[in-house]
């Protein structure tokens, strides 16, 4: 990256709304977002959003791709990495002892502790499956998501699979399973247990090893909706978008900096978010 390109990128990011847009797209990764969803998520007027998107595009910080009738915007990670490399070029080359402790890149720190998250739903066929796939897709290696049910259906809802595939999420490992697997000896120790349906929230859960933080993120059951295929598909899309929004907020939490009680309050607040 040249000096001129660096200045252009930094100038584009030196504005509150544009910085928020870029950070949101970084969180969403390969999934990206449409302008409408960006506008709703960040409470930015469509006209202002269009201006900011043009500025970020001109600086090479975001890309756009047409998907049917929609435009999908994504963060340009090549540009972001080039900018970070330029800013850290020759860092401390002549003063190796300038820091009292060796400097560890944030990316390394974030990956030292992979946090496990278990999403629970009664049948583990739709909502918890969507949450598992989304967090694994968006978590950037910081999180490992799992899902389970109190009375598992034994199969994943085909509409959930279709929706995930459409949004470029991995589906090969998804399966419907009993939550008892995660309370058994030798099971992965959970850091967070999140219920995504009301029935599971009201049931007596197993005793999870390690005392993970638990919160309720209830989402209306799309599989219970009756009507036309379009109406049912719309219900699945609504559930997907609400879960996606909550996971985005979860990923932006300064988890390592929050005390346990404060983190629990943040998790509970995220569970009340219903807009996308």
The pLDDT tens digits along the chain (276 residues) read: 888 999 999 999 999 999 999 988 887 777 788 898 888 888 899 999 999 999 999 999 999 998 888 889 999 988 998 898 888 776 655 554 544 444 444 444 444 589 999 999 999 999 999 999 999 988 878 899 999 998 999 999 999 999 999 888 889 889 999 999 998 888 999 999 999 987 766 666 677 777 899 999 999 999 999 999 999 999 999 999 999 989 988 998 889 888 999 999 999 999 998 755
Choose the catalytic residue: 91, 169, 175, 197: 197
Choose the catalytic residue: 92, 121, 169, 175: 121
**CA pair distance 252, 140, nearest whole angstrom:** 12
- Tell me the domains of the chain and their CATH numbers: 3-87 (1.10.10.10), 109-270 (3.40.50.2300)
Sorted by sequence, the CB contacts under 8 Å of residue 123 that are 6+ apart come out as 149, 151, 152, 153, 176, 223
Question: What's the pLDDT at 106?
Answer: 44
Question: What's the pLDDT at 112?
Answer: 57
Choose the catalytic residue: 91, 92, 175, 205: 205
Evaluate whether 107 touches 136 at the Cβ level (below 8 Å): no
Question: What's the pLDDT at 93?
Answer: 53
Question: What's the pLDDT at 214?
Answer: 93
What does pTM read for this prediction? 0.68
Question: What's the pLDDT at 91?
Answer: 65
Question: What's the pLDDT at 90?
Answer: 63
Question: What's the pLDDT at 26?
Answer: 85
Q: Is 92 a catalytic residue?
A: no
């Amino acid at each position: 990256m040249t000096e001129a390109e660096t200045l252009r990128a930094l100038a584009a990011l030196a504005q509150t709304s544009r910085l928020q847009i870029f950070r949101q797209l970084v969180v969403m990764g390969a999934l990206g977002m449409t302008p409408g969803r960006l506008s709703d998520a960040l409470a930015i007027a469509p006209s202002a959003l269009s201006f900011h998107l043009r500025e970020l595009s001109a600086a090479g910080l975001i890309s756009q791709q047409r998907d049917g009738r929609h435009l999908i915007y994504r963060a340009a990670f090549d540009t972001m990495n080039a900018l970070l490399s330029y800013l850290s070029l020759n860092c401390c080359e002549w003063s190796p002892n300038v820091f009292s402790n060796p400097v560890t890149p944030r990316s390394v720190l974030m990956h030292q502790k992979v946090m496990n998250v278990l999403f629970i739903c009664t049948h583990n066929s739709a909502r918890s499956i969507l949450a598992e796939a989304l967090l694994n897709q968006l978590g950037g290696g910081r999180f490992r998501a799992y899902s389970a049910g109190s009375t598992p259906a034994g199969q994943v809802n085909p509409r959930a699979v279709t929706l995930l595939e459409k949004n470029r999420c991995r589906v090969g490992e998804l399966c419907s399973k009993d939550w008892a697997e995660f309370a058994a000896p030798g099971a992965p120790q959970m850091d967070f247990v999140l219920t995504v349906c009301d029935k599971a929230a009201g049931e007596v859960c197993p005793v999870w090893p390690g005392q993970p933080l638990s919160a309720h993120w209830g989402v209306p059951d799309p599989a219970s909706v009756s009507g036309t295929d379009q109406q049912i598909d719309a219900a699945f899309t609504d559930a997907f978008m609400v879960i996606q929004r909550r996971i985005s907020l979860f990923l932006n939490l300064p988890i390592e900096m929050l005390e346990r009680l404060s983190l629990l309050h943040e998790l509970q607040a995220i569970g009340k978010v219903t807009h996308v």
